Amino acid sequence: MSNAKERKHAKKMRNQPTNVTLSSGFVADRGVKHHSGGEKPFQAQKQEPHPGTSRQWQTRVNPHSLPDPDVNEQSSSKGMFRKKGGWKAGPEGTSQEIPKYITASTFAQARAAEISAMLKAVTQKSSNSLVFQTLPRHMRRRAMSHNVKRLPRRLQEIAQKEAEKAVHQKKEHSKNKCHKARRCHMNRTLEFNRRQKKNIWLETHIWHAKRFHMVRKWGYCLGERPTVKSHRACYRAMTNRCLLQDLSYYCCLELKGKEEEILKALSGMCSIDTGLTFAAVHCLSGKRQGSLVLYRVNKYPREMLGPVTFIWKFQRTPGDTSESRQLWIWLHPTLKQDILEEIKAACQCVEPIKSAVCIADPLLTQSQEKSQSELPDEKIGKKRKRKDDGENAKPIKKIVGDGTRDPCLPYSWISPTTGIVIRYELNFEDTEETPHRWWIETCKNPDSVSLHCRQEAIFELLGGITSPAEIPAGTILGLTVGDPRINLPQKKSKALPNPEKCQDNEKVRQLLLEGVPVECTHSFIWNQDICKSVTENKISDQDLNRMRSELLVPGSQLILGPHESKIPILLIQQPGKVTGEDRLGWGSGWDVLLPKGWGMAFWIPFIYRGARVGGLKESAVHSQYKRSPNVPGDFPDCPAGMLFAEEQANNLLEKYKRRPPAKRPNYVKLGTLAPFCCPWEQLTQDWESRGQAHEEPSAASSPNGKESKLRRSEAPCAPMPKKPHQPSDEVGTSIEHPREAEEVMDAGCQESPGPESITDQEASENHVAATGHQLCVLRSRKLLKQLSAWCGPSSEDTRGARRAPGRGQQGLTREACLSILGHFPRALVWVSLSLLSKGSPEPHTMICVPAKEDFLQLREDWHYCGPQESKHSDPFRSKILEQKEKKKREKRQKPGRASSDGPAWEEPLAGQEALTLGLWSGPLPCVTMHCSRTLLGFVTQGDFSMAVGCGEALGFVSLTGLLDMLSSQPAAQRGLVLLRPPASLQYRFARIAIEV
């Protein structure tokens, strides 16, 4: 019987009388019984003279026999009974003192004892059930457990005790209102508002909360993943159909003011090196959405703040610089604090004097925060009206989807999904008593009517496009639509493409070529007042349903006429996968910007048209398959990213500690130094010192002992100045180009004035001094392009060479490397890795440099899985055991000692808590050299990619290490690295690629 079962049984039988037998060898047994009688627990307990437990039977018998202390108590007191220590102990025939006669008193005592034992058994309940459950059925009454008085009086007292116990266990529930009152609408909204004081709910929260695992993140309650099993279904929706996400937790910053002033203020925060800036022509006209990475003012390439997307409001009169412009910057809530402060600072620098008249003067650069998190001071009583400044709390619905390459596939439509849902309501002739005054006024203006018609036409044309990826990236389209709730389908259906929509092929082609005309990007959503009125004049669901129920023919179309709302919306195309070479345009889709309060009204129709909803996990999967970095986890150099990494490490550590040591991997033995976090700082530092160790011998200076030791261990990676396959004439150009790169970069960062004149090494020192040993991620497009060309194997190298003249590519030479390293001594590079054969990487997987023999083996056998790491020894294990022993010893000694020893005893305990079995404690040793293969970087996202069909990973590698590895690898196998998950010893080959 298992222990728990035994205990349960014992509990059940605790009041039941046990067998009472006579023992034969009473004298002999007496001594033994206390200890060795344990064979039969009940019996042994029973037979102890003073059981201490409630064995009245025994206590009744023995006091009588006690006058004779130990010998023959029974027999001497006319002892007719002999105790027998069970069947095991009783040697027959020993000391047979057979009683000669019987006395009435013993007889009576035995009876009395039995009565008491039985009484106990009868009166006390033995089962685990409640009191009223012990009653026979016919005596049970309704609500007995609630009201004690309904029980028979003899049981009331026990029940009272039980009820008290139960009350303690039950958690305190506020009963100030009855159930009905709590469910009433007003009180419910009050309660909801109270519950979202700490973490703001999105408009679709209740819908999500019923279907998703919710997490509290970034000040919001967000759906993490659906409760249904839907990983693959979501992937299918991403690829072929439509995946819907609520992105209304994204924050929007609005900048108003003169164009040039805004541009001037923001120019310091972004760099031309990383791509287009706020001033990009297409974006500036309001035609496209732009995305970029923000830095602290004039701090590029360090002190990154985070990635943002932005849209400019469409400009009516292009070229008129005096016009006030509006700029919306959309960003992740974790980045908001930093970026907002920085932008505020930047804008104040521009207009320090006039800040007082900021609101009055429309020409001023005025930064205005409009994120949903700004609302604690607003009235809460109204129904979920969490108002911030005007219309700014705009939920964006992000639709991610993609057409496959095959245009004939019936499900390869994303835009039709939107198209069917968003119905056009064009009632130009309606006039009187409609609440939507702004719309009437618009309708009076023939220009805007024609604009509206054009927008509608373009939207119709979008139906003819097979994939949103076909139109230019970031295209914006403004629309005004009718209430989507009115023609909600009866049943949930999948949106199918309408074949007749594809007829107008020429117009479609024109649209693809030219993009959406600039005028069509106009939308009333930019106007705060209009958005406010749209939000306030929304017909509530209740009213709508009431009107529907009052229809003459049930189920027919509801016609609201002039009362129907007109909702200005903005469609923004999301380009999907734009980097790399394969699967271009995968995962493209549309962002829909809606006025506040309309979230649910649009959400449900979207779903009824067959959109699948994803959570945070799905968005992570989407960005992984797109091979784009995920905010904020994949930005280790911005403060939000660091915070995220810290939190993640804590969570994982906690999870790890919850498992018993035998059931979790011993990371020390596996040679994983940091299984839960990526020590970027140390990685880059190690590589930097290694790089210096290389440089010195090449500069013919004397290598010191430590560095030579480092070098010795990585002999295969010894620098090779020139590759035989590279034409020597490239060397000349290679010296030229880094200089140019430097100049560009120095224009961006004004801190290092003109280091071109100094040598590379000096420059590097200069930079290191300037950066203050800070980590940065390489985002300069030029350098990334160069690196990505270098990364490919020789077959791709030829292609790279073909492109080379056009882009000014240069060969992989020592000089080129040095010049890059001079500027980025501690940089990380974002890489994507795809595994050659088996294996599926996971986050925190180590990226390592393969050794020479690995390549040899791989060349011999193409299916070679990869080398194995040998098991490491665990130096902490013995320490932990020692401490445990010590603790035990001290614990043993402690009762003897006085309490004054307390502090001295506690000290080693505190020290012991730092040690966890299976984790490296204390400062990490040299991370790069800890294992048999040199560590290059870490994976931040990784999984089996259903889009590609093999394991894929995304991560960062040290720039120094990457260049070092590339220059040392043979050309045919350049770009091969080894991946090793933290809980495994097996290395797997993967190909590295840098996608620009």
Nearest approach in angstroms of CB 669 to other proteins is: 54
Kindly list the distances between the CA atom of residue 93 and the CA atoms of 23, 87, 97, in Å, as whole numbers in the listed order: 11, 13, 9
Tokens of 979: 């991946």
Nearest approach in angstroms of CB 12 to other proteins is: 12
Question: For the chain, how many residues are written?
Answer: 996
Q: Restricting to residues 54-83, which ones interact with other proteins according to CB under 8 A?
A: 56, 60-61, 80-82
Contact 478, 591 (CB under 8 A): no
Q: Does 139 bind other proteins (CB under 8 A)?
A: no
> In a 3-state reduction of DSSP, which class is residue 280?
coil
Q: Of 114 and 361, which CB lies nearer to other proteins in the complex structure?
A: 114
| DSSP summary character for residue 233 | H
Q: How many residues bind other proteins (CB under 8 A)?
A: 48
Contact 420, 609 (CB under 8 A): yes
Partner residues linked to 992 by β-bridges? 833
Q: Of 61 and 461, which CB lies nearer to other proteins in the complex structure?
A: 61
Binding span for other proteins by CB under 8 A among 28-36, 118-126, 298-306, 691-699: 118-126
| CB atoms closer than 10 angstroms to residue 422 | 22
Q: Does 33 bind other proteins (CB under 8 A)?
A: no
Nearest approach in angstroms of CB 82 to other proteins is: 5
Helices (H), 373-434: 415-421
Q: Does 287 bind other proteins (CB under 8 A)?
A: no
Among 36, 105, 147, 873, binds other proteins (CB under 8 A): 105
Q: Does 17 bind other proteins (CB under 8 A)?
A: yes
Which residue pairs, CB below 8 angstroms and at least 24 apart, start in 781-786?
781/273, 781/274, 781/275, 781/996, 782/273, 782/741, 782/744, 783/741, 783/820, 783/824, 784/829, 784/994, 784/996, 785/809, 785/996, 786/810, 786/816, 786/820
Q: Does 110 bind other proteins (CB under 8 A)?
A: yes
Rounded CA-CA distance 577/996 in Å is: 11
Nearest approach in angstroms of CB 7 to other proteins is: 21
Return all residues near 367 (Cβ < 8 A) that are at least 6 apart. 253, 254, 255, 340, 343, 344, 347
| CB atoms closer than 10 angstroms to residue 940 | 24
Q: Of 157 and 885, which CB lies nearer to other proteins in the complex structure?
A: 157
- The sign of the torsion formed by the CA atoms of 827, 829, 830, 835 equals negative
Q: Does 138 bind other proteins (CB under 8 A)?
A: no
Among 55, 120, 538, 694, binds other proteins (CB under 8 A): 120
Of all helices (H) and strands (E), which one includes residue 295? strand 290-295
Q: Of 116 and 689, which CB lies nearer to other proteins in the complex structure?
A: 116
Rounded CA-CA distance 16/53 in Å is: 12
Q: Does 11 bind other proteins (CB under 8 A)?
A: no
Among 30, 42, 51, 86, binds other proteins (CB under 8 A): 86
Among 32, 66, 71, 118, binds other proteins (CB under 8 A): 118
Rounded CA-CA distance 13/6 in Å is: 10
Among 2, 3, 5, 19, binds other proteins (CB under 8 A): 19
Q: Does 114 bind other proteins (CB under 8 A)?
A: yes
Contact 512, 407 (CB under 8 A): no
- The sign of the torsion formed by the CA atoms of 929, 932, 937, 942 equals negative
Question: Residue 36 CA to chain centroid, in angstroms?
Answer: 59
Q: Of 156 and 761, which CB lies nearer to other proteins in the complex structure?
A: 156
Contact 993, 832 (CB under 8 A): yes
Rounded CA-CA distance 238/469 in Å is: 13
Q: Does 99 bind other proteins (CB under 8 A)?
A: yes
Nearest approach in angstroms of CB 146 to other proteins is: 19
Contact 387, 376 (CB under 8 A): no
Q: One symbol per residue from 144 to 183: x for binding other proteins (CB under 8 A), - otherwise; what is it? A: ----------xxxxx-------------------------
Among 53, 124, 355, 545, binds other proteins (CB under 8 A): 124
Q: Does 814 bind other proteins (CB under 8 A)?
A: no
Contact 942, 678 (CB under 8 A): no
Binding span for other proteins by CB under 8 A among 101-109, 181-189, 484-492, 801-809: 101-109
Residue with tokens 């009688």: 37
Among 13, 66, 71, 115, binds other proteins (CB under 8 A): 115
Q: Restricting to residues 530-589, which ones interact with other proteins according to CB under 8 A?
A: none
Of all helices (H) and strands (E), which one includes residue 738? helix 729-748
Nearest approach in angstroms of CB 26 to other proteins is: 10
Among 96, 227, 321, 878, binds other proteins (CB under 8 A): 96
Binding span for other proteins by CB under 8 A among 85-93, 263-271, 869-877, 974-982: 85-93
Q: Restricting to residues 713-742, which ones interact with other proteins according to CB under 8 A?
A: none
Q: Of 81 and 586, which CB lies nearer to other proteins in the complex structure?
A: 81
Q: Does 95 bind other proteins (CB under 8 A)?
A: no
Q: Residue type for 892, please?
A: R
Q: Can you give the binding site for other proteins, defined by CB under 8 A? A: 16-22, 24, 56, 60-61, 80-82, 84, 86-87, 92-93, 96, 98-99, 102-105, 107-116, 118-124, 154-158
